[in-house]
Amino acid sequence: MFKSTSAAAAVFAAGLLMNFNGHAAQANAQDPGAQSKGTPAPEDRPEVHAPVFRIISVEVLRSTHGGTLDILRVRGLASSSGWEEAELVPLTRGTPADGMLDLVFVARAPSEAMEAQGFEEIEAILPLETSHPYKGVNVHSASDSVSLSQLPGYAEGKAAGEDCKKCVGKVFVPKGSAVPAGKSAAEVVKEEQLPPMTRVIKHSDGIPSAESNPNRLTIVLSKDGTIATAIWD
C-alpha cells in the first residue's frame, strides 16, 4: 500500500515493532555477529537510522490523473547537520481499525557528536498506492507527532523551541530558579527552554553512561554555571 522502504529503514521499523531497546539492539539487527565481536570501535560503528528531532508539517497531495494517487510529504527538523537518507517508515501493518496510517520519520544520523549549530530542515516523500484504505495519517518524530485526519490535507507541528545555537557562554538557569541579579534575558538560558531529554552536566558531575543519542542535547557547565559546551551526542 506504500512504496518499499530501504533495508536499513526496514530494520529500524522491525526494531520498533519488536520493542528492541537502545543502540545495541539496532547494532544487533544490522550485524548479527555484533555481540560476539564486542563493542565496535567508533570507526566501525554501524550506521544508526533514528527518528528526526521534530515534525514541521505533514501534507498529502492527491492526483486524479490516470487514477487516484496520494503523495505524502513530510518536513521536519534534524537536531544538527549531517542527517541524510530521510525516509517515512510505515508502522501500520494491514488495514488499521481506526483507518490511520502511522509512520515514523527517520534518517541516517551523523556518525559522531555534533556541535549545536541550529536545527536543519529535512524532508521525505512517500507515494501511497491507488485505493489504499487510509482515511488519515499520523507521523511520529523523536519528540512529537503530527496527524491529518482527512486526506488530502495539510497540518503543521508546534514550534521547536531553543536550538542552543547561541547557548555557549550564557548562564544556565535551572527550572524553578530565578535569573541571577544583573543578568538580562539575552544572557541566560532557562532549562525549560531547552529540548526534551536535554542532559545537563555540571562541572563536578560524573558521567555514568557513554550511550549515544543523536536527538539528545548535552550541555556542559563551567564552574561559574555558564554553558561551556553544547552538543547533540
The whole-model pTM stands at 0.79
Q: Quick one: which of 150, 156, 6 has its CA closest to 89?
A: 6
The predicted structure's pLDDT at residue 214: 95
Q: Looking at residue 18, what is its pLDDT?
A: 41
pLDDT score for 41? 45
* pLDDT for 4: 46
Q: What is the pLDDT of residue 67?
A: 81
Tens digit of pLDDT at every position of the chain (233 positions)? 655 445 444 444 444 444 333 433 333 434 444 444 444 444 545 689 999 999 999 999 999 888 889 999 999 999 999 999 999 999 999 999 999 999 999 999 999 999 999 999 999 999 998 889 999 999 999 999 999 999 999 999 998 889 999 999 999 999 999 999 999 999 999 999 999 899 999 999 999 988 889 999 999 999 999 999 999 99
User: Residue 26 has what pLDDT?
Assistant: 39
Show the 3-state SS of the chain: CECCCCHHHHHHHHHHHCCCCHHHHHHHHHCCCHHHHCCCCHHHCCCCEEECCEEEEEEEEEECCCCCEEEEEEEEEECCCCCEEEEEEECCCCCCCCCEEEEEEEEECCCCCEECCCCEEEEEEEEECCCCCCCEEEEECCCCEEEECCCCEEEECCCCCCCCCCCCCCEEECCCCCCCCCCCHHHEEEHHHCCCCCEEECCCCCCCCCCCCCCCEEEEECCCCEEEEEEEC
Does residue 228 contact residue 221 with C-beta atoms inside 8 Å? yes
Q: What is the pLDDT of residue 81?
A: 96
pLDDT score of 222:
97
